[in-house]
Structures are given as structure tokens and as C-alpha cells.
Structure 1
């Protein structure tokens, strides 16, 4: 495959999951007064993945709270319970909250292996994506920044690179015709949370082609969607990035601009199974996507492994 210059399709904008309240009303916190004058705070959310919640009490009397950041997982559950200091009086309170997707500082195994997110035999041109805030807003790219553009000559199926749970699906934006546009944040995508809490983003999917829904468990090779054209490129492609939540200071960017804000997230440089072994992808290089039984089965439970082997 002849190497050609990629469009700015592969400039990755750190928005979406990295922004507060990434998915509108993804988390709703409610409170209830109990007969013993305690106040119970609970949550409901739209997906089973990890979310970090920061509570800000604008008013709080007759109660104390030492913890204001809470890790949530699952569709619903308890946040915290406020106990009255004086049990004869009610608690007075008001609050607001912020949240971001992710498990705070997960334990990441450097030996985890990914497959290229295309079906076996697909020729994939890989280029490292630039950090949009640095390119356009004068910000500084994170020290561990790593994001890839992965392009194909023809439209191809995009598959999961690693086992995980689908925690977010965006499938609302029309595919764009080539009009010279260098970048748009309006891209369809899928976010998959892995067992260790890292998050894989697949952005640049064709509208109506997404085959998974929130809550689905996927394995390496599970079809997610089709890729699509963007901007002035003649190719089809996606951006692929793996990230994790590294800061619990959800208010640190309050009042900051695109040029001065900092990332709440860290970034992973994955090892991909290419050319018969795990390796870090090289910039502006063509690879052949290939499935591998050992990689596919690596994170499977015994029950899943038996089912997979039986189905082969």
C-alpha cells in the first residue's frame, strides 16, 4: 500500500470523555431523608462502567463529611449517608456535583496485548495523531500522549482490540462528504472499558453501522461498526486511543481556557500483536491486521474460554 498523507482526521480532540459531564445526564444523584434524620444520597447512571463523582456541598449544617469524591460502578447504588450531629435536629444541606468517566489510577499491566481494530487481513496505515489543544490552542500535549489514526483504502469493519465492556456509544452524526474540513468533534464512536479500568476510544464510525450497545461484553475481534471518511482524506479511518483517569481534582480546570486546561487523564501506549509478536506501533507505517487465539483468550474466564474453544 502506498503511503499517503493523512488528513486532520487523525488530530484527536481531548473532549468527550475527558470533559466533565461527558455524557449529558449520565449520572443523576438523588437524596432522601430517613426517619432517623440521616440523609441518604444515591445515584443512577446510564452505563455499568466506572465514574468518579465529586460532591460539592454549598450548604451543610448539623452534619459532617470528610469525603467528597466517590467511585461509582454499575447502574445504581449508594453514594454516601449524612448522619446528624444532633440527632434531635434535621440536617440542612444543598449540593451540586461533577463527574467524569473512569477508574482512578487503575493498575495497568504493561504486558496487555491488543489487536489492530480491523478484521484479519486488512491493510492498515497507522499514523500518530496530534494533540488538538497543542495544534490549535497553544496548549502543551501531555507527556504520555499517544493516539493513533488507523486508515484503510476501502470501508472496513472496525473490531474490538481488547476484551471489555461497552460503556458509551455515539451513533447520531451523519457521515461527512469530502469538503476540505480538517476537523470536527462530531464523530460517532464507541468507548470500551477494560477489566483494569482503562478506556479504549474508537472514533470515526459510520452512522447506523454500530453493532454493539451499552453494557455489551466484547472480545478482541468483536465487530463494533464500519469506519468512515472524514474531511479531505480519500481514505476511511478511525482514531484509537487508550486512556485512564489519573486525577480526582474535577474542579482543577474551572475558569481555564482550551489553551490552559490540563488533562484529568493519562494515556497508554499499547502493545499490538503485529508481525507475529507484541510491539509498539511505528508512526506512518502500514500493518496487516491479524487475529491471534492467545491474545483473544488472554483475558477470558474459564467459562468464556471453553465457549470460545467450542465455537472454533
Structure 2
């Protein structure tokens, strides 16, 4: 058989330690080319970006020169990965490898000093409370150590993005899609992938006008929805997956407290809500600033 015709299809069975459904979100393909090298490509079958890890156990007649651990952000659809180069005067490259996928970047160094906007309407006063539990965040299993920020709100209050991010999940009052694609088990929520590789989830927010789209960027200070009927609290949760553990890591965010002050939010009935233009534009390109900072 012509080696250029040989193809291997490997389906990822591990989704960050949490997903056990049969649906496979990513397909990796290794193709021998005409000179005997091996080109790796991947297909992300989900509607949102996802992180892939490739770990080689055995290599013969070739070397893997990428930095380790190899973590690649896959956009939805086709993605090129890397090429295993055949050693001169050696046989056909042979290899075994393992694959994992993650919803957040497990190698990300979260920016603990990044200034987050309070996700409420500028000019209003935010009332903050201590979140006592994460009921239903991941079924009946609650993380051993976690952090979340709670805001007292009223139905139909507008909710704004605290930081720029790519929308990866929008849930309504009922979940009816494939559990393999879930980021958590909360309903009435919006989840975004942030530029530093962490995820941010806004619980008790709906998008009645359906303006949000999965895999589209939403900018800091833009409205993402409203508080649903019968809800009186908004919960903000920032987290990421771990490379070698099923445990999630949580981020305690620094919030903008005034035009010139950033700090931790504590339980308080009177925290002013300000969305400084300079902060909103921190993660925007020049073109994005011209379009969104008017």
C-alpha cells in the first residue's frame, strides 16, 4: 500500500475528566505524506473553541520537536497541528500517542490582577453577597475548593460582560443538547472563554433577543442579556481545568471599584458600578475600539 494513502483516525475519549457521553467532539488524523513525514490535523466537531493535548508514548524513526506538554487551541472545524519528520535513511515513522481535550487552557497562567467590570449597569449601585454553595454547578458534585461572586439583582436587570471573551455556551431554562458539550450543568447562564484561557460563567442571565452567538467575541462592557423572571441573584464564576487532575481551579477576580480603584469585592450593599472606557478597551484591537467604544 502506498504510504501516502495510509490514514489513522483517532477519536478522543477523554473530555477534561468530566464528560462520559458517547459523542466525540474532536477527531485527530495522522497522514503519511509523499516523503514519509506524518502530518497531523484535527477536526473540532463542536461549535466552540476547545483545547487539545497530544502526548506521545513511543516514537520510532522520528522525533517530536514541539514544546511539551503540547497544548493546541482548536477552532471549530479543520485545524492543522504539526508534522513528524522522518529521520534520514530511517524506516517509516511509527508512534503511539494519547489525546485529551479541555474546555479551558489547562496550562494557562490566569491573570490574577486583571481588572474586571462589575457586570451590572453603569451608574447603578451593586449589592454584593457571599455565595454559600455551587448547587448544581456540576450535577451533585461540588468542587472541594471554589470561589464565586454574588450580586443581588431584580428580574429584567441588564447584565454586562465583565471581560472580553468568546461565547462558548448559552443555556436557557432547560438543557436539551448533548451533555458531552456541556461546560457545567447550570441553566439560564452564559459561559465565555477569556483571553488568558480561563472560563467565566454568568448564572441567572438570559438572552431573550438571541443576540449572542456561540464562537463570537463579546467585549467587556457589552450587554449579554438580562436577569430572568423570578431570579434575584446573579453569580459570576471564573474557573479553569487542570492538566493532570479532575479538580477545577477558581480565580478570585479583582473588580473596578471606582474610576481609579481596583480590588476584591466584599459583601456590601453599596458598591458603585463604573465601566471605564480604558478598562473596556484593554483587550480590543484598534478596529474593535473604533467600533465599540463610542
With normalisation by structure 1, the TM-score equals 0.66
Q: What does 1:43-62 align with in structure 2 at a 5 Å threshold? A: 43-45=42-44, 46=46, 49=49, 51-56=50-55, 62=61
- C-alpha separation in 2, matches of 1:28 and 1:122: 47
Residue 108 (structure 1) aligned with residue 107 (structure 2)? no
**Which residue of 2 is the match for residue 128 of structure 1?**
130
**Which residue of 2 is the match for residue 297 of structure 1?**
281
- C-alpha separation in 2, matches of 1:195 and 1:207: 23
- C-alpha separation in 2, matches of 1:307 and 1:170: 24
Distance 1:167 1:43, change over 3 A: farther
Deviation at 1:283, TM superposition (A): 2.5
- C-alpha separation in 1, matches of 2:264 and 2:130: 12
The DSSP-based 3-state class of the residue aligned with 1:205 is coil
Deviation at 1:100, TM superposition (A): 0.9
Q: Report if the CA contact (8 A) 1:55-1:98 is conserved.
A: yes
Residue 69 (structure 1) aligned with residue 79 (structure 2)? no
Q: What does 1:133-212 align with in structure 2 at a 5 Å threshold? A: 140-141=144-145, 145-162=146-163, 164-174=164-174, 185-206=185-206, 208-212=208-212
Distance 1:167 1:31, change over 3 A: farther
Distance 1:56 1:297, change over 3 A: closer
5+ residue gaps in structure 2?
Answer: 1-14, 176-183
Distance 1:126 1:114, change over 3 A: same
- C-alpha separation in 1, matches of 2:25 and 2:18: 11
The DSSP-based 3-state class of the residue aligned with 1:196 is coil
Deviation at 1:20, TM superposition (A): 4.8
Deviations 1:13-40 (Å, cap 9, x if unpaired)? xxxx975569964433222221223222
5+ residue gaps in structure 1?
Answer: 1-16, 176-183, 254-261
The DSSP-based 3-state class of the residue aligned with 1:268 is coil
Deviations 1:51-81 (Å, cap 9, x if unpaired)? 4422355776555547663222352433232
**Which residue of 2 is the match for residue 41 of structure 1?**
40
- C-alpha separation in 2, matches of 1:275 and 1:156: 23
With normalisation by structure 2, the TM-score equals 0.69
Higher relative contact order structure (alpha carbons within 8 Å, sequence separation ≥ 6): 1
- C-alpha separation in 2, matches of 1:37 and 1:277: 59
Q: What does 1:272-291 align with in structure 2 at a 5 Å threshold? A: 272-274=256-258, 277-283=261-267, 285-291=269-275
Deviations 1:232-279 (Å, cap 9, x if unpaired)? xx533332122345x432xx34xxxxxxxx33x342322233587323
The DSSP-based 3-state class of the residue aligned with 2:289 is helix
**Which residue of 2 is the match for residue 240 of structure 1?**
236
